[in-house]
A and B are shown apart, each in its own frame.
Chain A
Amino acid sequence: MKPVYITRTCQIANDQLVMDGVEAVLDYKEIIADPALRRRMSRIVKMGVACGLKCIEELAPESIDAIITATGFGCLADTEKFIESIVANSERLLNPTPFIQSTFNTIGGQIALLRGIHSYNVTYAHRGLSFESALIDAAMQVAEGKKNVLLGAIDEITASSADIQRRLGMTREYELGEGANFFVLNATTSVKDQPAVFDIDTRSGKQTEDNLVEWIVEMADRNNIKTSDLWIIFINSLSDIKNNIKEKLGPNNNIMGYKSLIYPTFTASVLDYAINMLMGLTKMKILLVTEYQHINYSLILLGRG
């Protein structure tokens, strides 16, 4: 795969907006100027739309060739609101707004609507690989010659979803999280040492330590990199087995664990973190090794172009 340069990053989490690693003012009214659309937005939609809009702030709508979003759970609050109204009102006299907003592609669609962007617009909703799938599509779009591909991930946590995930045992070791992360991707950049994604791969189904080692070596080989030249970051539960893997990979590895909050698209926030970390690493490449629910795994190779 050809390098995909990340020319802009934007994150909204804990009511904080961070652009290219720098904190900025988060004023929803200013960012989402159209009150007609803003007034119908639930928290996740506001968060996602505002994050996406900030990421493409100074870009002309016709210069954005694709909007690709990812969400594991979608707009949970709107979904629950509509189900609740179905039950409470016995399927009569239902407000349409939460139904409309509950659609998985609502955030990508509203960014397009607010900015008048008529290009490719797709949403991935595949558990812990939602963001990875979107990144693969985005990388293909860039390789197909598209410019300024807007890639984003959004998930929210609600009281109900937290209770359900607690009952499902998903919170035993980690804290549940949420957030919005957007990126602008391009095939070229005028900036020296711009962060770039060099490779990405996904797997479904439980991976053993040996599977992971083999997979990491395979990715390093196909990118002509020695594993010893990589900073390898093991996310969440994988950080607990990082030392075993280090032993199997051989000496001199820069290996670290990173415990993130858990939610289906948390890889997007980890990517944002790794991009900031790259600023201090001129020569090295970073390999992210992610895991979600012991079902979804991904490898993302990034460095400076």
Chain B
Amino acid sequence: MRIAVTGLGAVSGIGFCVSENIESLRTGRHGMGKPRFFQTTLDVPVSEVKATNAELAKRLNLNAERTYSRTALLGLMAAREAVADAGIDVSKKRVGFISSTSVGGMDLSEVFYNDFRTDHNRGRLRLVSQHDCGASTEFIANQLGISGFVTTISTACSSAGNAIMLGARMLQHNMLDAVVAGGTDALCKFTLNGFGSLMILDKEHCRPFDATRAGLNLGEGAGYIVLQRSEDAARAPYCLLTGYANANDAYHQTGCSPEGNGAFGSMSAAMAVAGLQPSEIDYINVHGTATPNNDLSEATAIRRIFGDRVPPFSSVKAFIGHTLGASEGIEAVYSALSVKNGYVYPNLNFKSADEAIGLAPETEFAEGRRVRNVLSNAFGFGGNDTSLVFSRAD
């Protein structure tokens, strides 16, 4: 069975739709800046989607007077684009929606808590009733008119990779005929301060794989892809999803093992599912958060698999930040277009190679390259490592 990628949708700090995202990647326009759309005293760059919640609601033709979690708004924007792109009839029973998020409606819960903490009878309930991860998923599914299988995965930063993997497996098991899968996460104090407390936020613009890298920048956004069995596709697919795997590093709650065991496991297993040899991978969209630990561990795992023939690779995190539960949703969209159009994305801010890593990422946007297969990584807390493989449809 061939799983086709038939629809794409993405919103991030560098664009409200897929074409805007790609244009920014092409022209080197990143999304980093001081936080403008949410209140924080932390002075670190973040990649925000450049609109208030009211503006987002307006773009989505929603009643701007109502209260929506930003996670739900961003998710609806990207999911709606993906569904329209694929041209699927979502009213059919066997269309599923599998979303992921790391903190759900936390952006609203934080506001609620300000009143609630001193008096449990205070705080607007509307602000906290969307706290759980499933709330944004059900909102998006209802807005899209999807009434089939709907669920939410939350495995920190690898969440969307796992959502896409579940979607592919449910098609394989003939439980669904089409599935919209990906993730959404809005910036909020909770995650920004969380990563701050771990002392892994760079006060400067992040520099994945660079010798001087000093941490990550957070971002927000959403990304979804539509998957169908290739014989059911209403349009020519972008590419195929041929491989997927999740493995656990089982080394530390937040850090990665020096040998990159989890990353090695997920990449090797995803390539095995796709039936590919290392020499057939033409581009790797790395996780590349720009923390000293992640990039070294990921590079070590890549070297263990590819030896001295490491294919071109790059991290897009300096463009869009680390978008947590949305990250592999957005990056799956980029990866699908890499296969379709031979794109290779620049790893912004890379200047000097780290001797310990000994690898240099791509630094220029390229198109029309021969890209047969793309390997895309997303790694999260709890040693949760996911890799996907996208391949040419022809």
Are A125's CB and B383's CB within 8 A?
no
Chain A residues with CB under 8 A of B156 = 103-105
Chain B residues with CB under 8 A of A108 = 155, 382
Residues 139-157 of B contacting A (Cβ, < 8 Å): 141, 147, 149-156
A296, closest chain B residue (CB) = B134
Convert A119-153 into 0s and 1s, putting 1 for each residue whose CB lies closer than 8 angstroms to a CB of B.
11111111101100100110010011000000000
Whether a CB of chain B sits under 8 angstroms from the CB of A4 is no
Partner of A122, one of B113, B162, B253: B162
Inter-chain CA distance A124–B99, complex, in Å, is: 10
Q: Which of B3-11, B224-232, B244-252 contacts A (4 or more CB under 8 A)?
A: B244-252
Chain B residues with CB under 8 A of A82 = 190, 193-194
Inter-chain CA distance A127–B99, complex, in Å, is: 13
Chain B residues with CB under 8 A of A96 = 194, 197-198
Are A126's CB and B382's CB within 8 A?
no
Are A103's CB and B162's CB within 8 A?
no
Whether a CB of chain A sits under 8 angstroms from the CB of B380 is yes
Residues 86-126 of A contacting B (Cβ, < 8 Å): 86-87, 90-92, 94-96, 99-100, 102-106, 108-110, 112-113, 115-126
Whether a CB of chain B sits under 8 angstroms from the CB of A63 is no
Partner of A121, one of B133, B134, B382: B382
B101, closest chain A residue (CB) = A125
Are A125's CB and B170's CB within 8 A?
no
Partner of B198, one of A74, A99, A117, A133: A99
Partner of A168, one of B129, B196, B197, B247: B129
Whether a CB of chain B sits under 8 angstroms from the CB of A25 is no
Whether a CB of chain A sits under 8 angstroms from the CB of B66 is no
Chain B residues with CB under 8 A of A204 = 138, 141, 147, 150
Chain B residues with CB under 8 A of A160 = 116, 120
B254 to chain A, nearest CB (A): 6
B219 to chain A, nearest CB (A): 18
Chain A residues with CB under 8 A of B169 = 137, 140, 144
Whether a CB of chain B sits under 8 angstroms from the CB of A202 is yes
Whether a CB of chain A sits under 8 angstroms from the CB of B309 is no
Chain B residues with CB under 8 A of A127 = 132, 134-135, 138
Are A105's CB and B381's CB within 8 A?
yes
Inter-chain CA distance A82–B113, complex, in Å, is: 11
Are A119's CB and B381's CB within 8 A?
no
Are B114's CB and A103's CB within 8 A?
no
A162, closest chain B residue (CB) = B120
How many B residues, CB 8 Å from partner?
A: 64
> How many inter-chain contacts with C-beta < 8 Å in the A-B complex?
184
Inter-chain CA distance A146–B52, complex, in Å, is: 46
Whether a CB of chain B sits under 8 angstroms from the CB of A277 is no
Inter-chain CA distance A91–B42, complex, in Å, is: 7
Whether a CB of chain B sits under 8 angstroms from the CB of A205 is yes
B112 to chain A, nearest CB (A): 9
Chain A residues with CB under 8 A of B41 = 90-92
A97 to chain B, nearest CB (A): 9
Partner of B247, one of A90, A109, A120: A120
Are B155's CB and A100's CB within 8 A?
no
Convert B99-136 into 0s and 1s, putting 1 for each residue whose CB lies closer than 8 angstroms to a CB of A.
00010100001100110110011000100110111110
A37, closest chain B residue (CB) = B253
B173, closest chain A residue (CB) = A140
A137, closest chain B residue (CB) = B166
Are A105's CB and B261's CB within 8 A?
no
Are B121's CB and A167's CB within 8 A?
yes
Partner of B153, one of A84, A124, A202: A124
Chain A residues with CB under 8 A of B121 = 163, 167
Partner of A103, one of B40, B132, B173, B382: B382
Chain A residues with CB under 8 A of B253 = 37, 100, 106, 109-110, 113
A27 to chain B, nearest CB (A): 23
Residues of A within 8 A of B (CB): 37, 67, 72-74, 79-80, 82-84, 86-87, 90-92, 94-96, 99-100, 102-106, 108-110, 112-113, 115-127, 129-130, 133, 136-137, 140, 143-144, 159-160, 163-164, 167-168, 202, 204-205, 264, 295
* A and B contact pairs by CB, cutoff 8 A, 7 listed: A72-B134, A87-B113, A95-B197, A112-B382, A121-B383, A126-B133, A133-B152
